[in-house]
C-alpha cells in the first residue's frame, strides 16, 4: 500500500512540475495588468549610476502623474547580450533602449521586432542631426534618440592649471602639452588596452580624428574595393598613434579600463582617452576631481572631428499589444519633453538629442561645441559589420605591442579578407 502511495505521489509531483513548465512557456508578454494599472517593462542598457538616476527620476514623476500606467525600469549586466537573447526567444520588452545607428539594430528592424515611430509628434522635439542619424534603410524612424555619446581626451583640469596648460586644439599643440607634462615628470596619457574592445574604442576615435575617410575606406575594403596597405590616411593615423604611445603609460596592454580610471583619478596621468560612458565612473571614484574633456585634435581645428553616435535611444516593441504601445508612446512623449530631457542630461552628463536642453558643464564644452557644429562621425558599426570590426580590434591590439605601422596595415588587410569572406 505504502509503495503504491509513493508511486501516486511521484506521478503527481511529475505532473505538477510539468504543468509549471508549460505555464512558464506561455507567458511571452512582459507587461501585466494588475487591477487597473498597466505595468510596462522598460529595459534600458546603461549600467552607470548617472543615467539610471536620470531615468528613475523621470519614471517616478511619470508614474505619479499617470496612475493607470506603471513603468518599471529593468537594468541587467551585459544588457546587449540579454536583449539579443530575449528578442530571439520572443520575449521582447515593451520599451527598450538600443543603438539605432548600428547594424545589429538594422537587423532587428528588418525582422519586424521594432515599432515604426515615424510620424509620432514627440520626434519633432529631437534635433535634426541626431534624428537623421537614426533613419533606417526604409526611411522610417524606429527610435527616440535621447543622448549622444563620444570618445575624447579626458583631462585633469587642476593638473593643466598647475602646469599653465590650455586645451589643445591642434595636433601640434597637443604634442606640446604632452611634452610640457613629461618634462614636469607627469605621465601625460593613460591608455588601457587589455580588453580588445577598449583598444577598439581608442582606434575608432583615432580613425575619425586622423583618417577622415578611414571608416569609409574600411567599408570599401570589406567589399574588396580598397586596400589599407599604403593608404596615406591610415599611415598618418598609426604614425600619430605611435607618437602618442611615447607619452603614454608603458603598461597599457596590462591595464583594464577600471584600473586605468583609478590611476587617472588618483593623478597618475594627466589625460585619459575614453568614452562618455566613463564620465560617471570617473566622477564617482573621485568627486573632487575637476574633469574636462576635449576632442582628440587633428592638424587643424577645422579638420578635427570627433567620434560620436547616438548613445541612448528608446524603442518600442512591435510585438506589444495596442494598449501597451499606447502607454509606451505616452511615456516616450513624456521623455521627449524638454524639461524631462534636461533632468536626464543633468544626471547623465552627455549631450542631449532633445531641443532646448542645455549642458552647463564647462568641462565638456569643447566636445559639445564640436558636436553642435556637426564635426562628428558615427561609430564604425553604422557602416561595417561587427564581425569585421571586432577582429580589427585584435589587430590594432597587436600594434599596441609592436608599434609597427607597416605591419598593422598589412594585418588589417588580411583580417578584413578573412572576416568579410564569411
Partner 1 sequence: MKKFKPNRLATSSRATYFGFTIIPVLLYTFFYVFSVINGIRYSFTNWDGMAQNYDFVGFKNYISLLKNPYFWNSMKTTLLYSVMLVVCVISISLTLAISLNSLKWFKTFTKSLFFVPAMIGGVTIALIWDQMYYRVVPVIGQALGIDWLSQSLLMTGKTALPAVVFVHAWQAVALPTIIFIAGLQQIPDEQYESAQIDGATLFKRFRYITLPYILPTVTINLVLIIKQGFTSFDFPYALTGGGPVRSTEVIGILIYNDAFKNLKFSTANAEACLLFVVVAIFSLTQLKLTSKRGND
108 binds partner 1 (CB under 8 A): yes
Q: Phi then psi for 147, rounded to 5 degrees?
A: -145, 160
113 binds partner 1 (CB under 8 A): yes
Stretch that binds partner 1, among 157-165, 208-216, 248-256, 284-292 (CB under 8 A): 248-256
112 binds partner 1 (CB under 8 A): yes
Least separation, in Å, of the C-beta of 38 and partner 1? 27
Contact pick of 123, 215, 395, 412 for partner 1 (by CB under 8 A): 395
Residue with Cβ nearer partner 1 (153 or 189): 189
Contact pick of 1, 64, 183, 223 for partner 1 (by CB under 8 A): 1
88 binds partner 1 (CB under 8 A): yes
Residue with Cβ nearer partner 1 (187 or 304): 187
Binding mask 396-415 for partner 1 (x = CB under 8 A): -xx-xx--------------
Site for partner 1 in 284-323 (CB under 8 A): none
Contact pick of 243, 266, 284, 386 for partner 1 (by CB under 8 A): 386
Stretch that binds partner 1, among 15-23, 119-127, 296-304, 336-344 (CB under 8 A): 15-23
Residue with Cβ nearer partner 1 (84 or 176): 84
Residues composing the chain:
422
Site for partner 1 in 250-269 (CB under 8 A): 250-251, 253-256, 259
| Pairing outcome for strands 37-43 and 69-74 | parallel
Distance of alpha carbon 148 from alpha carbon 162, whole angstroms: 31
Distance of alpha carbon 43 from alpha carbon 34, whole angstroms: 20
Stretch that binds partner 1, among 78-86, 160-168, 207-215, 236-244 (CB under 8 A): 78-86
Contact pick of 19, 28, 68, 107 for partner 1 (by CB under 8 A): 107
Stretch that binds partner 1, among 13-21, 141-149, 213-221, 320-328 (CB under 8 A): 13-21
Least separation, in Å, of the C-beta of 417 and partner 1? 10
Site for partner 1 in 164-203 (CB under 8 A): 193-197
Least separation, in Å, of the C-beta of 199 and partner 1? 8
Q: Which residues pair with 34 in a beta bridge?
A: 37
Binding mask 356-385 for partner 1 (x = CB under 8 A): -----------------------------x
Q: State the residues that interact with partner 1 by CB under 8 A.
A: 1, 3, 6-7, 10-11, 13-14, 17-18, 21, 80-81, 84-85, 87-88, 104, 107-108, 111-113, 193-197, 250-251, 253-256, 259, 385-387, 390-391, 394-395, 397-398, 400-401, 418, 421-422
Amino acid at each position: 500500500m505504502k509503495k503504491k502511495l509513493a508511486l501516486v505521489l511521484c506521478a503527481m509531483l511529475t505532473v505538477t512540475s510539468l504543468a509549471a513548465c508549460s505555464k512558464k512557456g506561455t507567458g511571452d508578454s512582459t507587461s501585466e495588468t494588475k487591477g487597473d494599472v498597466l505595468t510596462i517593462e522598460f529595459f534600458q542598457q546603461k549600467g552607470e549610476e548617472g543615467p539610471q538616476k536620470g531615468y528613475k527620476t523621470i519614471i517616478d514623476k511619470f508614474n505619479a502623474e499617470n496612475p493607470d500606467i506603471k513603468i518599471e525600469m529593468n537594468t541587467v549586466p551585459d544588457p546587449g547580450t540579454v536583449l539579443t537573447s530575449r528578442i530571439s526567444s520572443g520575449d521582447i520588452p515593451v520599451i527598450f533602449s538600443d543603438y539605432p545607428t548600428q547594424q545589429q539594430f538594422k537587423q532587428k528592424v528588418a525582422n519586424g521586432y521594432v515599432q515604426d515611430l515615424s510620424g509620432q509628434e514627440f520626434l519633432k522635439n529631437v534635433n535634426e542631426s541626431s534624428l537623421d542619424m537614426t533613419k533606417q534603410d526604409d526611411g522610417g524612424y524606429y527610435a527616440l534618440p535621447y543622448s549622444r555619446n563620444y570618445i575624447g581626451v579626458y583631462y585633469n583640469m587642476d593638473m593643466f592649471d598647475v602646469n599653465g596648460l590650455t586645451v589643445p586644439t591642434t595636433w601640434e599643440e597637443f604634442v606640446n602639452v604632452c611634452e610640457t607634462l613629461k618634462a614636469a615628470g607627469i605621465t601625460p596619457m593613460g591608455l588601457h588596452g587589455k580588453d580588445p574592445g577598449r583598444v577598439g574604442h581608442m582606434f575608432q576615435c583615432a580613425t575619425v580624428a586622423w583618417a577622415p575617410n578611414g571608416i569609409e575606406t574600411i567599408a570599401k575594403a570589406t567589399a574588396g574595393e580598397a586596400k589599407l596597405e599604403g593608404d596615406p590616411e591610415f599611415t598618418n593615423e598609426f604614425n600619430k598613434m605611435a607618437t602618442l604611445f611615447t607619452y603614454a603609460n608603458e603598461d597599457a596592454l596590462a591595464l583594464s579600463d577600471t584600473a586605468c580610471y583609478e590611476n587617472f583619478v588618483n593623478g597618475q596621468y594627466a589625460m585619459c582617452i575614453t568614452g562618455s560612458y566613463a564620465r560617471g565612473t570617473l566622477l564617482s571614484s573621485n568627486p573632487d576631481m575637476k574633469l574636462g574633456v576635449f576632442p582628440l585634435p587633428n592638424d587643424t581645428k577645422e579638420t578635427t572631428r570627433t567620434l560620436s553616435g547616438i548613445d541612448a535611444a528608446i524603442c518600442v516593441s512591435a510585438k506589444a499589444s495596442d494598449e501597451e504601445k499606447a502607454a509606451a508612446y505616452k511615456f516616450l512623449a513624456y521623455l521627449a519633453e524638454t524639461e524631462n530631457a534636461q533632468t536626464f542630461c543633468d544626471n547623465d552628463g552627455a549631450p542631449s538629442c532633445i531641443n532646448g536642453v542645455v549642458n552647463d558643464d564647462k568641462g565638456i564644452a569643447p566636445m559639445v561645441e564640436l558636436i553642435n557644429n556637426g564635426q562628428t562621425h558615427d561609430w564604425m558599426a553604422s557602416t561595417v559589420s561587427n564581425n569585421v570590426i571586432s577582429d580589427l580590434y585584435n589587430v590594432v591590439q597587436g600594434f599596441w605591442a609592436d608599434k609597427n605601422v607597416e605591419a598593422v596595415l598589412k594585418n588589417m588587410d588580411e583580417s578584413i579578407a578573412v572576416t568579410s569572406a564569411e
